[in-house]
Amino acid sequence: MAEDKVEYTEDNIRSLDWKEHIRMRPGMYIGKLGDGSAPDDGIYVLVKEVMDNSIDEFVMGNGKKIEIKIEGDEVLIRDFGRGIPLGKVKDVVSKMNTGGKYDSKAFKKSVGLNGVGTKAVNALSNYFKVESIRDGKLKGVEFQRGNVVQEHNLIDTQEGNGTFVKFIPDNEIFKKFNFRANYLEQMFWNYCYLNRGLTIDFNGNKLYSKNGLKDLLENNMDGDPLYPIVHIEGDDIEVAFTHARGYGEDYSSFVNGQHTTQGGTHLSAFREAIARVIKDFFNKYEPVDIRQGIVAAVSIKVIEPVFESQTKTKLGSLEIEPNGKSVRAFVMDFLKEKLDNFLHRNPAIVKDLENKIKQSEKERKELAGIRKIARERAKKSNLHNKKLRDCKIHYNDIKNERRAETSIFITEGDSASGSITKCRDVKTQAVFSLRGKPLNSYGLTKKIVYENEEFNLIQAALNIEDDMDSLRYNKIIIATDADVDGMHIRLLLLTFFLRFFPDLVKKKHVFILQTPLFRVRNKKETRYCYSDEEKSKALRELGKNPEITRFKGLGEISPDEFKYFIGEDMRLEPVILTKDYTIEEILSFYMGKNTPDRQEFIIENLKVELDLIEDEIED
């Protein structure tokens, strides 16, 4: 029997207004939604979109301070720029294709050019309020999910000029989210590095940069540089770089004050240019050896930049300005002149730089034969069938809109990996099964990455043998049991990543999977509890004699249950490096041979834990 045909008439054609379209397709405007565990989650994009307007005011010479207060799910941002023209306050945040940045004379090299940003924030907020203060007059409008709730009359005020925005992300769209102060502070610091003279007051902490990208490297570097930071500036371009003792390449790139976390044409040009200029200066060495261990930042300004998405994380512009010089030629010409001159004037830095390049060259050549053997071994071990249950979409599939969702679970043993494999999303979630405990790699050279089968297979699965650009998964999720052995395996994996692939952690790709410790249920309801506090609450609320199950390991959780823990409600704890200690200091303390110091630390913290348990028992 033929299927009934669906009629296609005028009734099937529907026009969405601006806010309906944003709410129906939020990913088009703010990228992935997320829960705040990743720095590119949508809630941070909302903050950024409002901030970009305030930054543009500062760039145009208006207002030297921005005040930000974020508590719970409430965001307040106040700048001291010119303020929105009072007659257009409502339109600027609620009418598409409305804004001041279409006039290139007013905003020559602006971050936001399409007038979408604050409209998206408005439409995706449960509450949104905007106020503009100009010349002693204040105009305010309040919205809910993009709809006007109240438009206030113009009133007199003694406040200084500027714009005030308050919003609360809509919990219908952003479910169970949390702002993380680390991510927010890093975002605001980047604004300061790129806008010297600007003060950002974030929850009472004042952020300020005097030396731009030089400050960025000094504040973010892990340990001391091998030579003083090279800091060079020109019209519409600023670069800073040095080398560190570790592996990999660590870049920060910016366009018109926008942190392009995925790089783009300007970063590609910088990587090519810096290697070529240094190679030509010495008249030898390969780019791979020149860039090994580099820590660098580059910022350029472009008229009417073209980004590859509304979230502006990757520059697509080929030209520095319409009908002008290409981005590649602009960056190349600048470094050819300025960096070459710098190298000729600084022989001490040149000596240290060449020593680092020679060291990288020597290690690369020593590893060449080992790498070849390791690749052959990986093929023979049939990696994709035995160790890795792969997914269909990968992070390096640049054009795939779901690439940011890709993840790989690194599990201990076949039982845990089996449960995850049976309930995962096969399009975006891969599973890698460890065999026993990995080696403690602290103090070892990269040679061990290829000689140790487990490490070699992990590297091959992630596809990071040559560089981070080929990384196959956006999130690397360590999924181990919440017992002593599980914690030990977690530490050993983190040691491996921090020792040989620190960029994975620095670029916020590594996470810890949080799984429930208890299941509490009665005949009507089941609760999964991730702590003793949650268990106590469940016992109180579920009434008399509920059934309590203590999960001893991931392998004890059935696939039917596991699907809840790796789906929409998945709890991930990002691995974040703080500025308090260097990677070397962290690894030395926890994984080195300082047994007495570590014993004292464990004893002191065990006392604190026992005191807390005693207090809970008494209560």
Same domain, residue pair 288 and 429: no
In degrees rounded to 5, what are phi and psi of residue 266?
Answer: -70, -40
Instruction: Examine residue 6 and state whether it is found in any structural domain, yes or no.
Output: no
Amino acid at 403: R
Same domain, residue pair 295 and 425: no
Separation between Cα atoms, residue 199 and residue 192, nearest integer Å: 7
For 371-398, the pLDDT digits (tens) are 777 777 666 655 545 678 999 999 988 7
Same domain, residue pair 564 and 434: yes
Separation between Cα atoms, residue 36 and residue 74, nearest integer Å: 14
**What residues contact residue 567 under an 8 Å CB cut-off, 6+ apart?**
425
- The DSSP line for 367-414 is HHHHHHHHHHHHHHTTHHHHTEE--S--TT-TT-TTGGG-EEEEEESH
Q: According to the model, what pLDDT value does residue 453 have? A: 82
Same domain, residue pair 296 and 233: yes
Residues of the chain with pLDDT under 50: 1, 8, 13, 102-107, 113-114, 384, 608-610, 612-614, 616-619
Same domain, residue pair 600 and 542: no
Instruction: Examine residue 309 and state whether it is found in any structural domain, yes or no.
Output: yes
Nearest to 356 by CA among 225, 223, 497: 225
Instruction: Examine residue 269 and state whether it is found in any structural domain, yes or no.
Output: yes
Tally of domains within the chain: 5
Instruction: Examine residue 480 and state whether it is found in any structural domain, yes or no.
Output: yes
CATH number, position 262: 3.30.230.10
CATH number, position 123: 3.30.565.10
Q: According to the model, what pLDDT value does residue 80 have? A: 95
Domain span at residue 343? 213-363
Q: According to the model, what pLDDT value does residue 312 have? A: 57
Q: According to the model, what pLDDT value does residue 580 have? A: 67
Under DSSP, the state recorded for 425 is -
Using the CB atoms, write b or e for 563-592: b if 16+ within 10 Å.
bebbeeebbbebbebeeeeebbebbbeebb
- Contacts of 215-218 spanning 24+ positions with Cβ under 8 A: 216/189, 216/190, 216/240, 216/252, 216/297, 217/241, 217/242, 217/295, 217/296, 217/297
Check if the beta carbon of residue 508 is closer than 8 Å to that of residue 574. yes
Same domain, residue pair 224 and 342: yes
Same domain, residue pair 440 and 523: no
CA 584 to mean position of chain CA atoms: 23
Among residues 183, 208, 233, which one ends one of the domains?
208
Same domain, residue pair 593 and 574: no
Q: According to the model, what pLDDT value does residue 106 have? A: 44
Instruction: Examine residue 276 and state whether it is found in any structural domain, yes or no.
Output: yes
Among residues 208, 230, 261, which one ends one of the domains?
208
Residue with tokens 């007051």: 201
Q: According to the model, what pLDDT value does residue 94 have? A: 86
- Contacts of 218-222 spanning 24+ positions with Cβ under 8 A: 219/189, 219/579, 220/252, 220/579, 221/295, 222/246, 222/502, 222/506, 222/577, 222/582, 222/583, 222/584
Instruction: Examine residue 505 and state whether it is found in any structural domain, yes or no.
Output: yes
Same domain, residue pair 268 and 409: no
Instruction: Examine residue 374 and state whether it is found in any structural domain, yes or no.
Output: no
Report helix, strand or coil for 302. Answer: coil
Separation between Cα atoms, residue 359 and residue 43, nearest integer Å: 43
For 30-85, the pLDDT digits (tens) are 888 888 888 888 999 999 999 988 988 898 889 899 999 999 999 999 999 999 99
Amino acid at 409: F
The torsion region of residue 551 among left (phi > 0), alpha (psi -120 to 50) and beta comes to beta
CATH number, position 435: 3.40.50.670
Q: According to the model, what pLDDT value does residue 608 have? A: 47
- Extended beta strands in 49-124, E state: 65-71, 74-79
Among residues 535, 550, 565, which one ends one of the domains?
550
Amino acid at 193: Y
In degrees rounded to 5, what are phi and psi of residue 351?
Answer: -60, -45
**What residues contact residue 40 under an 8 Å CB cut-off, 6+ apart?**
31, 32, 34, 261, 311, 313, 404
Residue with tokens 């020109």: 234
Same domain, residue pair 258 and 324: yes
Same domain, residue pair 133 and 90: yes
Instruction: Examine residue 5 and state whether it is found in any structural domain, yes or no.
Output: no
Nearest to 429 by CA among 388, 468, 459: 388
Q: According to the model, what pLDDT value does residue 1 have? A: 44
Same domain, residue pair 57 and 135: yes
